[in-house]
Amino acid sequence: MLLRTDKITLTDKEIIKFINSYESTEVPELNNLWEYYVAKDTKILTKKKPDPNNPDNRTPVPYGRKIVTTFTGYAYRPNYITYQSNQTDVIETVKATFKLNQEHVKTSRAGRNTAIFGKAYEIVYIDGVPDETLPVKAEPRFFSVDPREMILFYDYSPEPKKQIAIRYYDVDPVGNTRKVEVYYKDTIVTYDMERSQQAEPDGTQLGWMLTSKDIRVNFFGDVPVVAYYFGDEMLGIIKPVQPLIDDYDLLVSDSINEFDRFAHAYLRLVKMSLTDPVNNKTPGADNRKLQLLKRRRIFEDLPDKDAVSFLTKDIPTGFMEFMTNLIRQEIHVQSHVPDFSDKTFASDISGVAVQRLLFDFENVVSSAEADFDIGLQERLELMAMIYQKGGRQLEGKPEDITITHTRNLPSDWKESAETGKILKESGFSRETVIRVQPAEVVPDREAELERQVREELGIIDIDIDGMVPEDGSVPVDDDGNVVVGGGEPTQDTALNGAQIKSLLEIVQEVAIGNITSDTAKPLIGIAFPSVSQAEIEALLRNMAKIEEPAEE
C-alpha cells in the first residue's frame, strides 16, 4: 500500500517519527524476506530445541533464492530489456546515459528487489553539479536504493504523484549515527541523525536528533526517486510461499535428524554386561570398557551369538521422498515459478510445448513487467528533464521510446531460423524478422540490422567497402561508414545505421525502376545535406554497373 501525505515539507520531529514508524512496521517484514533470499530462513533457525538429548539439525534450504533467481533471470536478465525509437537523437542520448550508468545491471537488480520485497527504488541525480547552475552536458546518474532505507510518500490525487521521499542509512556498525536525505520537488535537504541521551516517551530506547547539513536545488522539478512495484499489493515471489518453504526446511531437517538417530542406535546386550558388577566396582569402568570396544571393535567371551545387537528404527524413506516432492511441487505451483530442472522440461521438447508449460508463469511475468515499465518510464522522464534543462535540443521525447522485454529461454537455433524464414517469405520487414530472434542468436539487433543493410548495398554492386568509386573520392572508416567531406571520419560525418537504411531504400527504388536517377538525386540531397553532389553522382553511377538478367 502506498504511503500518502498532504504535507509539502517536513519538520525534524516528523522526519524522525516517520523513520521510527517505518522501522517498526515495514522493515522487520522486509528483513525477514531478505533472510529467506540469503538462505537464513528464520523459522527453522529459531526453532526451539525440543530435547537436548536428540539430534537437532536446522537446515535452511535456499528455495527463496532459487525462485527469485529463476524469476529475475527469465524476466530481467541484463541486456534483455531494450529501448527503440524512430527519433535517432533521443535514443542515442539515452543509450549513452545508460552505458554510463551500467543500466543493464541496475535494471536487473531492480527486478530482483521487486521479486524479493515487492518493491524497488532508484535515486536519479546529476553528476558533478556543485552550484546552482546546470551545465549543458550535465549527465543524469542513477543508483539502486535498498527498500529498507527508503520511505516514499504520494499525494491524495486519484492518480497518486510522488510528494516527498526520505532516504536514511547507517554510517557506523553500531547504528547510532545515520545520514538522512529528504527529497522535495524543489529542494534536497541532508541531515546527520544521531542518538540523543533523551529517551523516547515510552522509555523503550534512546531518541534521535537531527542536524541539518546541506540544502541543494532539485533541478528535476520532481521527487527524483524511481519506484518499481510488484502490483498494487506489492507482493513479491517469496511471501506467498513462505510457509511452504518453512515446511520444506522442517522436513529436510527432521529427515537428517532421523539419519542421526539411526547412526546412534542403541546397543543391546543380552545376559551379559560390559564389566563384572560384583568384582569390579571401580568408578568409570563401564566407560573405559566402551571406549575400548569402540577402538578395538571386538566383543570377547560372548555367552551367545545373539548376545549383542542394536535397537534401530526403520526410516520411512518412501514417505519422506513423497512429502519432499509434494512440498517442492507446491512451492513452484503456488509461486507460479516453474522448476526448469524438472523432467517435464526435457531438452527435446518443442518451443510450443515449452510455451504451454510456461503459460501460468508468463501470466505473472507479463503483469509484473507492465508494472515495472511504469518505473522505467519514470526513469526516462527524469533523465529527459535534465536533458531539457541542460539545453540539449532533442527532437524526441521519452514517450517516443518503446521498451521491449525479451524472455530468457533456451533457444533452438534451427527453429529460430525457420521462424525467421517464414516471416521473411510472408512479407514481414527485415527489422521484424530480426526482432523475433533470441538474444543468443542475435545479441545486438541494431548492429545486425546495420550489417544486413551493408550487405544489401553490396548485393546491388555498390562497393561494400564504403561505396567508393574508382577515383577514391568517397572515403570510409574502418567499419565501412561512408565519410563525407574527406578526411578522418567523425561522429558528424559518418552515416549511421538508420541513415544508411534510408539511403538504401532510395537506391532500391532506383534499382527496381520505381524512380529515375534524376529524381533520386534531389531526394538524396534533401535527406542527406552533408553528402555532396559529386558523392551522390558517384553512388548512382555505380548503379549502372548492375548487370540486367539475360532474357530467356
**What are the tens digits of pLDDT across the range 28-62?**
999 999 999 999 999 999 988 877 777 888 999 99
pTM of the model: 0.72
Q: Is residue 492 part of a domain?
A: yes
Domain enclosing residue 493, as ranges: 453-552
Q: Is residue 311 part of a domain?
A: no
Q: Is residue 470 part of a domain?
A: yes
Residues 436 and 460 in one domain: no
List Cβ neighbours of 96 (8 Å cut-off, separation of 6 or more): none
Long-range pairs for 539-542: beta carbons < 8 A, 24 or more residues apart:
539/462, 539/467, 539/474, 539/507, 540/507, 540/510, 541/469, 542/461, 542/462, 542/463, 542/467, 542/469
Q: Say whether pLDDT at 386 is over 60.
A: yes
Residues 458 and 552 in one domain: yes
Residues 421 and 497 in one domain: no
* Residue pair 92/297 in contact by the 8 Å Cβ criterion: no
Q: Is residue 5 part of a domain?
A: no
Q: Which of 421, 443, 465 is the last residue before a domain boundary? A: 443
Q: Is residue 260 part of a domain?
A: no
Q: Cα 154 from chain centroid?
A: 25
Strands (E) located in 30-176:
81-84, 119-127, 139-145, 150-154, 162-170
Nearest one of 25, 68, 132 to 368, comparing CA atoms: 68
Q: Cα 304 from chain centroid?
A: 69
* pLDDT score for 159: 92
Distance CA 166, CA 22 (A): 11
Residues 466 and 540 in one domain: yes
Q: Is residue 138 part of a domain?
A: no
Residues 457 and 551 in one domain: yes
What percent of the residues of the chain are helix, what percent strand, and what percent coil, each to the nearest 5? 45, 15, 40
Q: Is 69 exposed, middle or buried (0-12, 13-18, 19+ CB in 10 A)?
A: middle
Where would I find the H helices in 195-284?
Answer: 242-263
Residues 460 and 488 in one domain: yes
Residues 432 and 515 in one domain: no
Q: Say whether pLDDT at 481 is over 70.
A: no
Residues 457 and 552 in one domain: yes
DSSP letters along 394-413, please? -S--GGGPEEEE-------H
Residue-wise pLDDT for 223-265, tens only, equals 999 999 999 999 999 999 999 999 999 999 988 887 777 666 6
Residues 477 and 533 in one domain: yes
Residues 515 and 547 in one domain: yes
Residue-wise pLDDT for 73-110, tens only, equals 999 999 889 898 888 888 889 999 999 999 999 999 99
Long-range pairs for 203-209: beta carbons < 8 A, 24 or more residues apart:
207/16, 208/16, 208/19, 208/20
- The total domain count for the chain is 2
Residue 196 C-alpha cell reads as: 540523543
Distance CA 372, CA 36 (A): 23
* Residue pair 328/248 in contact by the 8 Å Cβ criterion: yes
Q: Is residue 469 part of a domain?
A: yes
Residues 427 and 512 in one domain: no
Residues 419 and 464 in one domain: no
Q: Is residue 539 part of a domain?
A: yes
